C-alpha cells in the first residue's frame, strides 16, 4: 500500500472558521502514523496534466493567486501556499495512479488538500481548486493506456465537477452517492450522462438520515453490478468522510466502520477486473475524530484487515436506490 501526502498541503489555509481547515489533514495523517505502508512524497502536477480537464483560463486564474490571500468564490479561498498545495494535490493523484498502474504496489491512499470533486473545468468551487481525481482519471486514459476507469464518489456532496468533465465519455464511468437534495444541487438520478457517455454517469441521490444499510445496499444493488459489467482497469475513489454521523455539514448517519465495508467492496471490484489497482483520494470530512477513524478504517482494509461486513438493509434510502436502478436498468441489467 502506498501512502501519499505532504506537509505543504497542510499549509493551505482558507482562513479562520473555515471547515476545510489544515487540522483535517493533520488528523488524517496522525491516524495513519503507524500504518505499515510505503510513504511516497508526491510531485506537482504539470500544467498539461491539469489542462486535460480544466480550461487554460481557469489554470491562469489559479496561477494568478500564487502567494496571495484571496478568494475564488465565497466558499473557496486561498492563502500563501494554497496554489502550490493544489498542484501537489493533483500531482499526488497522478503519481498514485501511475504507481498502481505500472508498479508492484496496487493500492494507494492519497491524503490531500485542497479537495477536488466540486472543481469545474472553468471554475473553482466548494473548497476545490483543481479536480484531483479527474486529473488522475484523464491521465490514466491519455498517458497510461487504460481504456476503462471507474470513479466512485462517496463524499456526502455530489461530485458535480467530475460528472461534468466526463459525462459525455464512456471510458470513464462516474458513480456518485450523495445526500440529495443538498449542496451543490446537482446529482439527480436522471443525470445519467449524455451522447456517447449516456448511461456512464450514475447518481444515487439519498435523502438525509440514511445510514450504513442504505449505503451498503446502494453498493450491492447499483454500484457493484454496474462496476462488474463495466470491468474497470482502475478504480479511483473520491473518498470524502462527511456522510459520517458526526459530521457537522451534512445529515447522514454512517459509522467509521461503514467506510471499511465500502472500501472492501471496491477492493473486490479492483481484484476482479483491475489487477487490484485502487486509489483512494481524500475529499471532504469535517469532524476531526470521525475523519481520523474513517481514514484509518479504509487504510486498514487496503492493508488486508478484514472489513466488518455489516448487513445491507436499506431504510430511508430504498426509494432513491430504486429510482437509480430504474434509470440504469436498460443498459446495465440491474
Ligand atoms: Zn463533501
> Of 182, 172, 57, which is closest to residue 120 (Cα–Cα)?
57
Contact present, 148 and 233 (Cβ < 8 Å): yes
CA distances from 266 to 149, 183, 228 (A): 13, 25, 10
Confidence of residue 157 (pLDDT cuts 50, 70, 90): very high
Q: Could you tell me which residues come within 8 angstroms of residue 317 by beta carbon, excluding any fewer than 6 positions away?
A: 204, 206, 207, 210, 213, 214, 215, 217, 218
- Write down the pLDDT at residue 266: 98
Distance between Cα 274 and ligand 1 center (Å): 27
Distance between Cα 178 and ligand 1 center (Å): 9
- Write down the pLDDT at residue 230: 98
Q: How many CA atoms lie within 13 A of 70 on its CB side?
A: 12
Confidence of residue 211 (pLDDT cuts 50, 70, 90): very high
- Write down the pLDDT at residue 209: 98
Question: What is the residue-wise DSSP string for 27-70?
Answer: HHHHHTTT---EEE---PPPHHHHTTTS-HHHHHHHHHTTT--E
Confidence of residue 72 (pLDDT cuts 50, 70, 90): very high
Annotated catalytic residue, options 12, 54, 81, 118: 118
Distance between Cα 263 and ligand 1 center (Å): 17
Distance between Cα 40 and ligand 1 center (Å): 25
- Write down the pLDDT at residue 309: 97
Distance between Cα 166 and ligand 1 center (Å): 19
What would the pLDDT profile of 13-40 be if each residue is shown by its tens digit?
A: 999 999 999 999 999 999 999 999 999 9
> Would you call 58 a catalytic residue per the annotation?
no
- Write down the pLDDT at residue 260: 98
Q: How far apart are CA 46 and CA 250, in angstroms?
A: 34
Cis peptide, bond prior to residue 184, ω within 30 of zero: yes
User: Would you give the DSSP letter of residue 118?
Assistant: T
> Of 214, 203, 314, 219, which is closest to residue 262 (Cα–Cα)?
219
**Percentage of residues of the chain with pLDDT beyond 70:** 100
- Write down the pLDDT at residue 186: 98
Confidence of residue 264 (pLDDT cuts 50, 70, 90): very high
Sequence-ordered strand ranges (E) for the chain = 2-4, 38-40, 70-73, 76-78, 107-110, 149-153, 172-179, 201-206, 234-239, 278-282
Specify the length of the chain in residues.
Answer: 334
**In this structure, how many other beta carbons lie within 10 angstroms of the beta carbon of residue 132?**
35
Amino acid at each position: 500500500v502506498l501512502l501519499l501526502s505532504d506537509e505543504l498541503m497542510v499549509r493551505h489555509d482558507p482562513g479562520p472558521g473555515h471547515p476545510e481547515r489544515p487540522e483535517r489533514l493533520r488528523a488524517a495523517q496522525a491516524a495513519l502514523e503507524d500504518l505499515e505502508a510505503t510513504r511516497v512524497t508526491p510531485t506537482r502536477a504539470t500544467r498539461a496534466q491539469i489542462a486535460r480537464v480544466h480550461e487554460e483560463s481557469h489554470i491562469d486564474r489559479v496561477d494568478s493567486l500564487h502567494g496571495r490571500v484571496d478568494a475564488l468564490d465565497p466558499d473557496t479561498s486561498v492563502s500563501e501556499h494554497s496554489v502550490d498545495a493544489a498542484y501537489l494535490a493533483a500531482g499526488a493523484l497522478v503519481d498514485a495512479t501511475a504507481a498502481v498502474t505500472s508498479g508492484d504496489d496496487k493500492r494507494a491512499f492519497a491524503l490531500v488538500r485542497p479537495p477536488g470533486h466540486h472543481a469545474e473545468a472553468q471554475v473553482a468551487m466548494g473548497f476545490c481548486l483543481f479536480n484531483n481525481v479527474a486529473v488522475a482519471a484523464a491521465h490514466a486514459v491519455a498517458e497510461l493506456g487504460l481504456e476503462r476507469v471507474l470513479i466512485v464518489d462517496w463524499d456526502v456532496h455530489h461530485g458535480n465537477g467530475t460528472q461534468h468533465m466526463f459525462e459525455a465519455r464512456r471510458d470513464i464511468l462516474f458513480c456518485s452517492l450523495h445526500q440529495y437534495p443538498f449542496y451543490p444541487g446537482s446529482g439527480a438520478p436522471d443525470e445519467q450522462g449524455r451522447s456517447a457517455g449516456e448511461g456512464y454517469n450514475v447518481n444515487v441521490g439519498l435523502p438525509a438520515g440514511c445510514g450504513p444499510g442504505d449505503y451498503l445496499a446502494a453498493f450491492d444493488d447499483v454500484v457493484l453490478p454496474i462496476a462488474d459489467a463495466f470491468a474497470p482497469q482502475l478504480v479511483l475513489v473520491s473518498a470524502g468522510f462527511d456522510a459520517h454521523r458526526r459530521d457537522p455539514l451534512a445529515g447522514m448517519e454512517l459509522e467509521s466502520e461503514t467506510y471499511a465495508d465500502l472500501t472492501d467492496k471496491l477492493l473486490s471490484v479492483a481484484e476482479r477486473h483491475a489487477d487490484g489497482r485502487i486509489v483512494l483520494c481524500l475529499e471532504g470530512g469535517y469532524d476531526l475524530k470521525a475523519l481520523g477513524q474513517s481514514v484509518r478504517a479504509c487504510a486498514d482494509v487496503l492493508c488486508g484487515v478484514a472489513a466488518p461486513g455489516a448487513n445491507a438493509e436499506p431504510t430511508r434510502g430504498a426509494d432513491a436506490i430504486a429510482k437509480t436502478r430504474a434509470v440504469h436498468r436498460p443498459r446495465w441489467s440491474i
